[in-house]
Structure 1
Amino acid sequence: MLKDKKAAILGDRDGIPGPAIEQAMETTEAEVVFTTTECFV
Structure 2
Amino acid sequence: MSMYDGKKVIIIGDRDGIPGPAMEECLKNTGAEVVFSATECFV
Report the Cα offset of residue 32 of structure 1: 0.3
What residue number does 1:5 align with? 7
What residue number does 1:38 align with? 40
Report the Cα offset of residue 27 of structure 1: 2.2
Gaps of 5+ in 1: none
Runs of 4+ in 1 over 3 A off after TM superposition: none
User: Under a length normalisation based on structure 1, what TM-score does the superposition of the two structures give?
Assistant: 0.95
* Percent identity between the two aligned chains: 63
Q: Which whole-Å CA distance do the structure 1 matches of 2:26 and 2:4 have between them?
A: 13
